[in-house]
Amino acid sequence: MTTNKPLILVCNDDGITAPGIRNLVDAIKHLGEVVIVAPDSPQSAMGHAVTISKPLRLEKTDIYGEIQSYQCSGTPADCVKLAVDKVMHRKPDLLVSGINHGSNSSINVLYSGTMSAAMEGAIEGIPAVGFSLCDFAYDADFSYAKKVAAQVAENILNNGLPHGTLLNVNIPKATEAEIKGIKICRQANAKWKEEFDERKDPNGRKYFWLTGKFMNNDKGEDTDEWALANNYVSIVPVHFDLTAHHAIPFLNKWNFSI
């Protein structure tokens, strides 16, 4: 069905049946014509992986009733690529990804499948945003996150986004009464301190589980981590030009004898 309403593509990384994406669809469906293309199984921490060494499956589902939805065997970035090439009748006006079960603030933007879907949208020239609720629970309370998602989506549809920019929106785990507002932030310079849990399998062979502690040494009050710790929603504008422009003069002083 072709309409004049905004065309909105919905994706995530927790899989098409996750409560987060169901809440996101519910939050934004009044804003336009919605099409869902999401992974058929959880794809957390997939970063910006794409599937090149095996074929992809894409199946229409009816789990969203009247709303068109497709499940895909690939990564979040695959979902967006397939949606743009094979599902959508025109370029979407908006891509919303999430709502992720768990934070994607700071350095997690790099590991996040939720954000890779949004980034793939931005690369395709689609205004895009990823939403994450800082609560890993399956039965987390998405009611305030839904309000944030609706308002951010509406702002993007009304105002657009600067070329090549997408948004990383994180919502603190707090009650609506506790939340102080919304802050536009920069990505905090924080990282994970890895600690692999070493175990033995039933055959006596060693294996490792990735665990770790999140370490934030960035004391700036303009960061997403500061905002979330102080019960603000954080919005970080993100781009996919990874060039460290400030380092170019330093490198131009190097000598090469080739």
Q: Which of residues 12-31 bind a copy of itself (CB under 8 A)?
A: none
Q: Quick check: 146 and 27 in contact, CB under 8 A?
A: yes
Distances (CA, A) of 40 to 8, 119, 140, 142, 232: 19, 20, 21, 22, 32
Residue 161 touches a copy of itself, criterion: CB under 8 A: yes
Q: What is the DSSP letter of 163?
A: T
Residue 221 touches a copy of itself, criterion: CB under 8 A: no
Fill in the per-residue mask, 180 to 219: x = in contact with a copy of itself (CB under 8 A), - = not in contact.
Answer: -xx-x-xx-x-x--xxx-xx-----xxxxxx---------
Question: In whole angstroms, how close is the CB of 103 to a copy of itself at the nearest point?
Answer: 14
Question: In whole angstroms, how close is the CB of 239 to a copy of itself at the nearest point?
Answer: 4
Choose the stretch contacting a copy of itself; rule: CB under 8 A; options: 1-9, 24-32, 129-137, 246-254. Answer: 246-254
Q: Quick check: 188 and 220 in contact, CB under 8 A?
A: yes
Choose the stretch contacting a copy of itself; rule: CB under 8 A; options: 20-28, 72-80, 90-98, 133-141. Answer: 72-80
Distance (Å, whole) CA 166 – CA 162: 8
Fill in the per-residue mask, 33 to 52: x = in contact with a copy of itself (CB under 8 A), - = not in contact.
Answer: ---------x-xxxxxxxxx
Residues 223-242 contacting a copy of itself, CB under 8 A: 235-242
Is the Cβ of residue 66 or residue 251 nearer to a copy of itself in the bound state? 251
Residue 145 touches a copy of itself, criterion: CB under 8 A: no
Query: CA gyration radius for the chain?
Result: 19
Q: Quick check: 14 and 44 in contact, CB under 8 A?
A: yes
Paired strand residues for 239: 165
Residue 153 touches a copy of itself, criterion: CB under 8 A: no
Is the Cβ of residue 88 or residue 229 nearer to a copy of itself in the bound state? 88
Question: In whole angstroms, how close is the CB of 190 to a copy of itself at the nearest point?
Answer: 10
Paired strand residues for 236: 168
Cis peptide before 179 (omega within 30 of 0): no
Q: Site size for a copy of itself, by CB under 8 A?
A: 83
Task: Burial-class residue 218 by CB neighbours within 10 Å (0-12, 13-18, 19+).
Answer: middle
Is the Cβ of residue 4 or residue 250 nearer to a copy of itself in the bound state? 250
Those residues whose C-beta lies under 8 Å from the C-beta of residue 63, and which sit 6 or more positions away, are 16, 17, 69
Is the Cβ of residue 19 or residue 47 nearer to a copy of itself in the bound state? 47
Is the Cβ of residue 110 or residue 137 nearer to a copy of itself in the bound state? 110
Question: In whole angstroms, how close is the CB of 224 to a copy of itself at the nearest point?
Answer: 9
**If you search the block for the tokens 């994706």, which residue do you land on?**
11
